[in-house]
Structure 1
Amino acid sequence: MTSNFRPTAIQFLTTLPESLKRAFDATATWVTQLSWWKFFLFAILMLAAGGITQSMLFSSSHTRVVSDDSGSRHARNKSRALGDNDTEVQIDQSGIHIRKNKSGSVPAPDEADPATPTPPTPPVPAPPHPVTQGPTATLKNDEVHITLPPGVGKEVQDAISEAVDDAAAQKVETYREKSSEWFMNFVLLLVLGLFGTKALVGGKKRAEAEAAAANTIAEREAMQRQVTEAKMQMMQAQVEPHFLFNTLASVEYLIETDPPRASRMQRSLIQYLRAVLPQMRENAPITNLGREVDMVRAYLDLLKMRMEERLIVDCRIPDGLRSAAFPPMMLQSLVENAIKHGLECKPEGGSLTLSAEIADNKLRVTVADTGMGFGAVPSDGTGLGLQNIRERLKLLHGGAGELIIAPNKPSGVLATIEVPYQLAR
């Protein structure tokens, strides 16, 4: 049993500090989460509960000395023995007996040496009449016997019994008062300890809680940013320059009919692909307006060679705005829509104007065409171009980014993208 108890005790002592630390941390966290008025309310309730518990456990009304006549008679009839380790004093109805204990220096008669003769016991004279007899003392076998009158012996015995009972009751009362005082002191120290914990450790716990909340928010924002970038990359991948197929078909036709013109168109196509392919591979959420304008110009040069005089291009992009931040491939999508749904299907063609300005601390880029107008010709596409632009603007800028579609006068469509003005990195 001892061999099993020792490892258990060692394990308990080993885990005790960690358990106390966890309990303190849990208590400190709970206290610091309480507001000050809740804490003071809890302290008042705790002191009130301590006072009620003190009155219930340590009240003097629960300590009573019960006595009756039979108990008194029984206490009077039995002898009372007092003394220390060496001497014993016994009081009964016959008087007072004072004797040495067996552990004392004087041996008792039954423990004396058998070879030593026992001195004869002097006869005890018969007591005279109780009324006239006074206290007498006799010595017998190392015992002093003081004979008292019956009435006096009873009074002495009762007085000593009452004194002993009073001393015991007083000792119990003293213990009760000390226990009550210690209990209330413990409650006060506990309340003060909780107050000190809230005042001193509260700042640290709040800082740790705020740091944990900030880390959680940062992780959540990082995840949202990754999801946003993934969505933008997916939407950007859906931008399909459909004109490439038409351009390649035009190059093939011109090779047979007009080889020099086919060669110029092929060089323009190569120039356009060199500008647009790196942009599509990077999948960057933000680029600059100048880079987007250069791609659109290369694209419009190809279209102008195919549409010839049916397409008039006017670019009004100030050089000071070329460094402004702008989402990639959005201007390309607006120009493609203007060509495909407005100008390409119009027999006489029309003009396409690119402009940019700053208004209300926002960069406003507009693509205006004089084509058939928005919705005039049924579309055979997927309809995802403008929807993707709106969703990408919402992911990038929230409510600060906007796509505005309006009719152009006398004909055509005005497509405007507004984003917060800032310089590209």
Structure 2
Amino acid sequence: MNPNFTATCKQFLTTLPDKLARAFDTTATWVTQLSWWKFFLFAMLVLAAGAITQETLFTSSNKVNVSGHGPSAKPVSGRSKLVNNGESRITIDSTGIHIHDNKPDSASAPDNDDVHIKLPPEVSQQVQGVIADAVDDAATRKAETWRETSSDWFMNFVLLLVLGLFGTKALMGGKKRAEAQAVIANAAAEREAMQRQVSEARMQMMQAQVEPHFLFNTLASVEHLIETDPPRAARMQHSLIQYLRAVLPQIRDSAPVTNLGREADMVSAYLELLKMRMEERLIVDCRIAEGLRSAAFPPMMLQSLVENAIKHGLEGKPEGGSLRISAEVAHNRLRVSVADTGLGFGAVASDGTGLGLQNIRERLALMHGNNAQLIIMPNPSGGVIATIEVPYTLAR
């Protein structure tokens, strides 16, 4: 036997179970995805196709009329062998019926009759015709029986196929739908995770833009005091070192959400530095209830509002003013406001950085969509009131 053919057969038999399993899984998936009315329509089409195929392949178009008497009987001329069952051979001719024994010792003389029944020629011809018709009738009946059996097997196979598909859909439909829903849910979760990672990366990038802005402003104040009042600059430098030791761990934290208490403490430390430079020109009033310190709040946003109020409102005003920080909860929303009594809108030109308020708006949109906002309005006492409104939740 060809070794390549043997190896091919072994490989085919080895992979056959996997191929059958994949074919069944593919068929089951396709069937379960069909709606019930489509499945019943498909089943009716299969049954109709099976009936047409049965009619075409297994129904005989030739009807044989078999009769022991009639024109089918043929005359005999000479000897005609009719039956040979291995042990005996029967022939009928005009002289009668000849029965021969098919034994080895009689092989040398095949023409010698073992049994000879003499009949008149007319009777011999009639007997031969009857036997020929009986043989034809038996063959025809055998063929018809084979057609009927094959037809029954074929239709039973079609019915079993339809019933199998029905059972597959009824029993495995829920499982396949659950698997499909699980795949869809996993894909949606992966998309949401990727979107969340992108949003967090953008927020961290914008937060990184705020941190140098804060540090540069503070160092610029120290540099200015070194030239004008070295002792105060030394004290401010010492306070800055203490401040950075307290807030740098929070600045390095990449969490997109912190709590309002930490942000308020960092802003208070920052304002202490500014009061060393502005002295009595800066009055600070922080009104954040103890119960709201655990509320979730985006990092560095309160710092940005305070810096914006100092730089564009109070720092350029000769007599200075007050800065009030407050927080409240209304309709399950946290509102944190920074109100100053400074110069008001447009009194001081921007230095072109443009990071503060626009940065806050973009970060709020990334974190909460339309559920958060930054509101800027004039202060009735002069200056500006900036308010950040976010959903009220507790920080983790």
Q: Cα–Cα, structure 1 residues 77 and 382, in superposed 2: closer, same or farther, change >3 Å?
A: farther
Query: What's 1:246 paired with?
Result: 220
1:203: Cα distance to partner?
2.8
Note the C-alpha offset of 1:393.
Answer: 1.5
CA distance in 2, matches of 1:221, 1:178: 61
Count of residue correspondences: 387
Partners of 1:250 and 1:306 within 8 A in 2: no
Deviation at 1:365, TM superposition (A): 0.3
Tell me if the contact between 2:73 and 2:129 (Cα under 8 Å) persists in the aligned partners.
Answer: no
Alignment of 1:77-92 (within 5 A): 77=76, 79-92=80-93
Contact 1:271 1:298 in 2 (8 A): no
The CA deviation at 1:325 is 1.0
Counterparts of residues 19-418 of structure 1 (less than 5 Å): 19-61=19-61, 63-65=62-64, 76-77=75-76, 79-103=80-104, 107-110=106-109, 141-239=112-210, 240-241=213-214, 242-256=216-230, 259=231, 261-418=232-389
Tell me which amino acid in the other structure corresponds to 1:244: T
Instruction: Give the SS at the match of 1:356.
Output: strand
What is the Cα deviation at residue 389 of structure 1?
1.2
Tell me which amino acid in the other structure corresponds to 1:223: M
Distance in 1 (alpha carbons) for counterparts of 2:295 and 2:166: 57
| 2:222–2:233 Cα contact (<8 Å) kept | no
Contact 2:95 2:121 in 1 (8 A): yes
SS at match of 2:256: coil
Distance in 1 (CA, whole Å) between partners of 2:187 and 2:75 is: 82
Q: Report the Cα distance in structure 2 between the residues aligned to 1:396 and 1:77, rounded to whole angstroms.
A: 107
- Following superposition, the deviation at residue 237 of structure 1 comes to 0.3
Amino acid at match of 2:92: I
TM-score (norm. length: structure 1): 0.84
SS of 1:60 mapped into structure 2? coil
Cα offset, 1:336, TM superposition = 0.9
In 2, Cα distance between the equivalents of 1:317 and 1:200? 61
Q: Could you tell me whether the CA contact under 8 Å between 2:73 and 2:126 is conserved in 1? A: no
Counterparts of 2:349 and 2:93, CA distance in 1:
130
Which shows bigger deviation, 228-237 or 300-309? 300-309
Identity of aligned residues (%): 68
Distance between the aligned counterparts of 1:3 and 1:266, measured in 2? Answer: 89
What secondary structure does 2:106 align onto? coil
Distance 1:418-1:142 versus aligned 2 partners, 3 A rule? same
The one-letter code matched in structure 2 to 1:47 is L
> Retained in 1: the 8 A contact 2:334–2:389?
yes
- Which amino acid counterpart does residue 267 of structure 1 have in structure 2? H
**Superposed displacement of residue 293, structure 1:** 0.8
The residue type paired with residue 14 of structure 1 is T
State how far apart, in whole Å, the 2-side matches of 1:76 and 1:228 are: 103
Is the contact between residue 301 and residue 360 of structure 2 (CA under 8 Å) also seen in structure 1?
yes
The 1:276/1:98 distance shift into structure 2, 3 A limit, reads same
Distance 1:102 1:383, change over 3 A: same
Question: What's the C-alpha RMSD, in Å, of the aligned pairs?
Answer: 2.4
Contact 1:80 1:161 in 2 (8 A): no
Per-residue CA deviations over 1:114-144 (Å, capped at 9, x if unaligned) read xxxxxxxxxxxxxxxxxxxxxxxxxx93433
CA 1:30–1:243 in 2, change beyond 3 Å: closer, same or farther? same
Structure 2 unaligned regions, length at least 5: none
| Contact preservation (8 Å) 2:97, 2:119 | yes
Q: Could you list the per-position Cα deviations for residues 20-78 of structure 1 after superposition, in whole angstroms to 9, with x for gaps in the alignment?
A: 111111112222222222222222221122112212222233x45599xxxx7995456
The change in CA–CA distance for 1:75 and 1:348 in structure 2 (over 3 A counts) is farther
Contact 1:235 1:388 survives alignment (8 Å):
yes
Q: CA deviation at 1:279?
A: 1.4
Tell me which structure has the larger Cα radius of gyration. Answer: 1
**Conserved 8 A contact 1:335-1:367:** yes
User: Quick check: 2:334–2:390 contact (8 Å CA) kept in 1?
Assistant: yes
CA contact (8 A) 2:83 2:90 kept: yes
Q: Give the whole-Å Cα distance in 1 for the aligned partners of 2:383 and 2:126.
A: 131
User: Given the superposition, is the C-alpha separation of residues 76 and 370 from structure 1 closer, same or farther in structure 2, using an over 3 Å criterion?
Assistant: farther
